[in-house]
Structures are given as C-alpha cells and as structure tokens.
Amino acid sequence: MSVSVSSATTSATSATSRPAGPRRRGRRSGSALSGWLYALPTALFVVFLFLVPLVLVFQMSGSDWPLLGGNQGVNFPENYQKAVDNRFFVDSVIFTLKYTVLATVLLIGLGLGLGLLVQESSRWKGLLRTSFLIPSALGLASASLLFYVIYSPIAGPFAELTKSWGFTFLGTPDAALWSTLFLIVWRFAGFYMLLMLVGLQGIPDEVYEAARIDGASRWQTFRDVTIPLLKPTLALTTVMCVTGSLLAFEQFYILTKGGPDNSTITIVQLIYSVAFQGPNNLGVAGALSVIVLAALVVINIVQIRAFSKKVED
C-alpha cells in the first residue's frame, strides 16, 4: 500500500515541477542562502562534535603524544606498531570477539523470544512488556554499579549463599564473563524485545491467515513467514548489537576492571588503560582507536551487505 502511494506522489511532484522550473530560478540565490542558514546549526554540530574529534584522533594516532606532555611531534608508524605489540592486544581482541558473539546470540535470541511472547494479546501483556522494558530506563553505568553490589561477596544479597557454595560471581574468568553477560541481558533484552515487537507487528495478518489456510504448522509459519519478513529488523538489531558489544566498556570497567588475571579486557578498555592507567600514551591509544574504527567500518559493511543480499533473495 504505502509503496504505491509514495511512487504516486513522487511522479506527481516531478510532473508539476517541470513547468515551474524557470520561475524558481529567480529565487534561487535567496533560497540557497536561507537553505545554508537552515543547515548551518547541524553543519556546525557535525563539524565540531564529529569531524574535529575524528581528525584529532587521526592526528594523535600519528604523533608522539604523552597524556601529561602534550603533542611532541610526528611518530607515525611506531604508534601503530606499539599498539599491535601491546601485550594485551591479541587477548583483548579475542575476548572482545568472544563476548560480542555471546552477547549478540543471547540478546537477539531472547529479544525475539520475548517479542513473540508479548506480541499475543493476553491478560499479562501489559505487565510483561513493562517489566522487560524497565531495566532499559537505567543507565548502563548505574546498572553496572547495581550489579557490582549484587555480586559483591561482602555486601551483596547473595554473599551468604556464595560463601557456603564456595563460589564468587566475579572470581574466575568464566564466572566474570557470564556474570557480566547476565547484566547485559538484563539491561538490554527489553530494548531488543521492543525493536522485535515493532518488526513483528509490521508483518500483515493476511500473510499469517494465508499460511493457516495452507495448513502450515506453528514452526513452519515461524520459519517461512515470520523470519523472512522480519529480516530488516534482524539486520538492524544485529548491527546495533554487534557494534555495541565490540565497544563494550562500562560494564567491564566497573564490574571486573579487566580482571581476574586480565581475562576480561575488552579492546576499548585497553584503549582506556593505555591512555590513562599506566603508559599514559595518547598516541598509542589513538592508534588503537583508529584500528577499532577501521575494523568497525569493515564489519558493518560486511553485515549490511550480507543482510541486504538475503532480503533480495
């Protein structure tokens, strides 16, 4: 429906604009100026909050730039060499990828499951939707602090229980990873549920009705109707989730500080620690940031390509 309407309006505007052409030329210089003026606030915003920092990071990544000493001149390939040679570089890349895969699978799976659960009208629909969504109202740093206390072996509500079981939430590398994943699922599952719900409700009832008439089972309907029609939503959520997880920082900074035994250092944490917790070298931190930026661009292009190809099929 909407497609035919929009194509009708575009053909209508192109039809009317053709004879109006010569008359508009006289106003062009004035409207161009006011056009630029309208665009100016956004342009300034983009230049100062996006382009300038970006250029600065590139400059930093190519300069010898200690945190306390300021820019000391060009140091181009060495910073990148040092960034890659950092003793935590490989470990942090592997850990970040591992965390990203786990978080994405959990969040997309749970988000879709919860979306399906609350899509149907039932007596508990309102309560369920609200309770899944409420954690999303909390900032990630505040949520991390909340879980820091919940997981605490001294002050936490499970302190007695963990003591008698001889277990701590953040004591071993695996426990720390899964405890952090639990926090992330708790915080974000509702948000992804909401996105899935929007996608699910965009699927017209007629398609489901047709499937029912053809005698499709529940599973067949889900696999052959819901999933293909949900693809744009799945693409959006996957790109968001992968990007967000690759840039994970607050939860690990607050809950584990990269421990125990340096087992939970994400790549962004590595950037932070190179800049502020020891080497205090903004040049190498900048080089790491540029590497991450490049990797993100590539990963996102690959994802978007992959999804758009499938949609065409």
Q: Please give the residue ranges that form the binding site for another protein (CB under 8 A).
A: 66-71, 88, 152-154, 163, 168, 170-171, 257-262, 265, 273, 275-280
Pick the closer one to another protein by CB: 67 or 235: 67
Query: Among 107, 128, 269, which residue's Cα sits nearest to residue 181?
Result: 107
Cα(149)–Cα(156) distance, integer angstroms: 5
Query: Considering the complex, what minimum distance in angstroms separates the CB of residue 257 from another protein?
Result: 4
**Closer residue to another protein in complex, CB, 107/282:** 282
Residue nearer to another protein on the CB measure, 159 or 293: 159
In the complex, minimum distance from the CB of residue 53 to another protein, in angstroms, rounded to a whole number: 14
**Which of 163/310 has CB closer to another protein?**
163
Nearer to another protein, 195 or 284 (CB): 284
Least distance (Å) between residue 24 CB and another protein:
40
Burial label, 182 (beta-carbon count in 10 A; 0-12, 13-18, 19+): middle
Distance CA 247, CA 241 (A): 10
Instruction: Closer to another protein by CB, 135 or 171: give it.
Output: 171
**Least spacing, CB of residue 261 vs another protein, in Å:** 6
| CA 29-33-36 angle, 5° bins | 135
Integer Cα distance of 35 and 28 in angstroms: 10
Q: Which residue is it, tokens 């606030």?
A: 41
Comparing CB distances to another protein, the nearer of 92 and 226 is: 92
Residue 180 CB, nearest approach to another protein (Å): 14
CB of 254 to another protein, least distance (A): 10
Question: Cβ 93 to another protein, closest distance in Å?
Answer: 15
d(C-alpha 269, C-alpha 185), whole Å: 20
Contact 83, 282 (CB under 8 A): no
CB neighbourhood size of 60 (10 A): 22
- Give the nearest distance from C-beta 221 to another protein in angstroms: 48
Residue 264 tokens, joined: 């939970």
Pick the closer one to another protein by CB: 135 or 260.
260
- Picking from 176, 106, 109, the residue whose alpha carbon sits closest to that of residue 147 is 176
| DSSP secondary structure, 203-255, as one string | S-HHHHHHHHHTT--HHHHIIIIIHHHTHHHHHHHHHHHHHHHHT--HHHHHH
Burial of 249 (0-12, 13-18, 19+ CB in 10 A): middle
Query: Least distance from C-beta 242 to another protein, angstroms?
Result: 25
CB neighbour list of residue 170: distance below 8 Å, 6 or more residues apart: 151, 176, 179, 255, 256, 259, 260
Contact between residue 252 and residue 269 where contact means Cβ atoms under 8 Å apart:
yes
Q: Which is nearer to another protein, 81 or 131 (CB)?
A: 81
